[in-house]
Amino acid sequence: MLETDSIKLLAAALESLDAGYAALPPPELRPPGVDRMGQVLLEAARRMRDNYPYFHPLYAGQMLKPPHPLARAAYAIATWINPNNHALDGGRASSAMEKEAVAEIAAMFGWQQHLGHLCGGGTMANLEALWVAGRLHPRTKIVASEQAHYTHSRISGVLGLEFAAVPCDAGGRMDVNALEKALQTGGVGCVVATLGTTGMGALDPLPQIVQLCRLHGVRLHVDAAYGGYFTLANNLQPATRAALDAIREADSIVVDPHKHGLQPYGCGCVLFKDPAVGQLYQHQSPYTYFTSRELHLGEISLECSRPGAAAVALWATQRLLPLTPGGEFARSLESCRSAALQLHQRLQQDPRWLAPFAPELDILVWAPRQAVASRISRLSQQIFDAAARLDLHLALVRLPAGMLTGGRAVFDCDEETVLCLRSVLMKPEHEAWVGRLWERLSRAADRALAGAG
């Protein structure tokens, strides 16, 4: 079931890496406990069976995408050296590879010039972007939509900046009229636009947000941790395309290679349009940066130690699958979106379901059609459980009832929020599995209704 062909490539690559150090006398390493390694490793493997099959198309729940086998292998060979991309002393090759890979991501968004680097993930990347915003506009407020990632409000708190949530429309996108009001009230230093909300994959209307930020002289940060790579896809709605095309107007961008970029966890990316923000990071470290006068990644990053292996994995993946529209990687994203569109169409045509949200990316949110909100919530949970027993792994999301009804009398709102089913179809294989996912979902719904009836 698990991919193992890459192990052969790994052995060959390690031999090549080893040849680079052939001039040294053998170090005669003997790590403590090596004799018992096999036994412990098997024990770890057994423990790891207690996971959902994230690599399998029947896992269609949360944002979990298997890394590319090449990314896994490249990460692994790098750990034999274990470079630290904090400073060139710690990772010369991997720092150069990070700069190249990050420049390719910036170019994907249309930036020929930028300042940026990899970091632990989207949260760290957003922290850094909002830290820069706060340094440039001290004592101002950060605003993001109600559907923005929950960490924006927490990050603002960590940075000692006020945070306010802007209401969303029924599609889960930032309401630009509400944003305009917030900007007119004043005191806002940075607007966070989300391109691809974590809950439903909705994109805030960036072209209008850009105009408003310019008009009010406010900084614009784009959180595209999830959706950023879809800028390469050719099967988007016009509004989605327009939002992604406007990314280049942002002051900073966050995208997560460990979400849609085929990387193992521990790979986020932050980009700044103006390289001069690098000055904000200035520090005097008495103990790093000895062997080079070049710019170190550690001089433009809040984190110190970082895995050079993450950069090696990303560099290798982008070498294999360049970030170009029409390329293999772009096509794999188009398959994910196509899977979501096909499943949405089936849901819409079936009277058992409420499916008011046309997916903008590859995330679907829907619910069982019932007369009362509380009944929908209960049944969503039961279908989720029944599907898991059929090895179909979905996710759940709680949404304001108004988003599901769009203001119409679709069901009785005895609860303010409704529990809905959610599925992130982020594996390209999902496209070929739509029929099988649908068949299991239908069986799960029948069982839940029979059990509840």
Ligand X SMILES: *Cc1c(COP(=O)(O)O)cnc(C)c1O
Whichever of 121 and 428 has its CB closer to ligand X, that residue is 121
Stretch that binds ligand X, among 33-41, 120-128, 373-381, 443-451 (CB under 6 A): 120-128
Q: Please count the residues of the chain.
A: 453
What does the alpha-carbon distance between residue 107 and residue 122 come to, in Å, rounded to a whole number? Answer: 19
Whichever of 268 and 400 has its CB closer to ligand X, that residue is 268
For residue 162, give the nearest of 184, 125, 133 by alpha carbon. 133
| CB of 146 closer than 8 Å to CB of 170 | no
**Is residue 65 part of the contact set for ligand X (CB under 6 A)?**
no
Stretch that binds ligand X, among 222-230, 274-282, 431-439, 441-449 (CB under 6 A): 222-230
Ramachandran category for residue 412: left, alpha or beta (phi over 0 → left; psi -120 to 50 → alpha): beta
Q: E strand or H helix at 188, and its extent?
A: strand 188-194
**Is residue 198 part of the contact set for ligand X (CB under 6 A)?**
yes
Q: State which of residues 94, 194, 231, 301 lies at the interface with ligand X (CB under 6 A).
A: 194
What does the alpha-carbon distance between residue 400 and residue 394 come to, in Å, rounded to a whole number? Answer: 20
For residue 178, give the nearest of 170, 187, 169 by alpha carbon. 169
**Is residue 192 part of the contact set for ligand X (CB under 6 A)?**
no
What does the alpha-carbon distance between residue 219 and residue 188 come to, in Å, rounded to a whole number? Answer: 9
Tell me the number of residues near ligand X by CB under 6 A: 14
| CB of 426 closer than 8 Å to CB of 336 | yes
**Is residue 121 part of the contact set for ligand X (CB under 6 A)?**
yes
Give least dist CB 20 to ligand X, A.
Answer: 33
**Is residue 123 part of the contact set for ligand X (CB under 6 A)?**
yes
Whichever of 223 and 251 has its CB closer to ligand X, that residue is 223
Any residues with CB less than 8 A from the CB of 122 and at least 6 apart, and which? 149, 151, 223, 225, 226, 254, 256, 259, 268
Stretch that binds ligand X, among 89-97, 194-202, 405-413, 422-430 (CB under 6 A): 194-202
Stretch that binds ligand X, among 218-226, 273-281, 321-329, 430-438 (CB under 6 A): 218-226
HSE-up of residue 258 (Cα within 13 Å, Cβ side): 19
**Is residue 362 part of the contact set for ligand X (CB under 6 A)?**
no
Give least dist CB 161 to ligand X, A.
Answer: 17
For the chain, the maximum distance between any two Cα atoms, rounded to a whole number of angstroms, is: 78
* Minimal CB distance residue for ligand X: 122
Q: State which of residues 172, 266, 268, 400 lies at the interface with ligand X (CB under 6 A).
A: 268
**Is residue 223 part of the contact set for ligand X (CB under 6 A)?**
yes
Q: E strand or H helix at 18, and its extent?
A: helix 6-19
- The helix/strand/coil state of 433 is helix
**Is residue 149 part of the contact set for ligand X (CB under 6 A)?**
yes
**Is residue 338 part of the contact set for ligand X (CB under 6 A)?**
no
| Residue 78 one-letter amino acid | A
Stretch that binds ligand X, among 29-37, 45-53, 221-229, 375-383 (CB under 6 A): 221-229
**Is residue 256 part of the contact set for ligand X (CB under 6 A)?**
yes
**Is residue 307 part of the contact set for ligand X (CB under 6 A)?**
no
| CB of 29 closer than 8 Å to CB of 225 | no
**Is residue 308 part of the contact set for ligand X (CB under 6 A)?**
no
Whichever of 149 and 296 has its CB closer to ligand X, that residue is 149
For residue 198, give the nearest of 137, 127, 147 by alpha carbon. 147
**Is residue 240 part of the contact set for ligand X (CB under 6 A)?**
no
Whichever of 121 and 308 has its CB closer to ligand X, that residue is 121
**Is residue 226 part of the contact set for ligand X (CB under 6 A)?**
yes
Whichever of 224 and 354 has its CB closer to ligand X, that residue is 224
| CB of 311 closer than 8 Å to CB of 85 | yes
Q: State which of residues 225, 233, 300, 309 lies at the interface with ligand X (CB under 6 A).
A: 225
Whichever of 198 and 231 has its CB closer to ligand X, that residue is 198
| 446: its two tokens | 């029948």
DSSP codes, 206-273: HHHHHHHHHHHT-EEEEE-TTTGGGGG-S---HHHHHHHHGGGGSSEEEE-TTTTS---SS-EEEEES
**Is residue 67 part of the contact set for ligand X (CB under 6 A)?**
no
How many beta carbons lie within 10 A of that of residue 319, not counting itself? 14
Whichever of 199 and 428 has its CB closer to ligand X, that residue is 199
Residue 136 burial (C-beta neighbours within 10 Å; 0-12, 13-18, 19+) = middle
Stretch that binds ligand X, among 73-81, 190-198, 318-326, 429-437 (CB under 6 A): 190-198
Whichever of 85 and 126 has its CB closer to ligand X, that residue is 126
Whichever of 194 and 338 has its CB closer to ligand X, that residue is 194
Give least dist CB 29 to ligand X, A.
Answer: 35
> Contact residues for ligand X (CB under 6 A)?
121-123, 126, 149, 151, 194, 196, 198, 223, 225-226, 256, 268
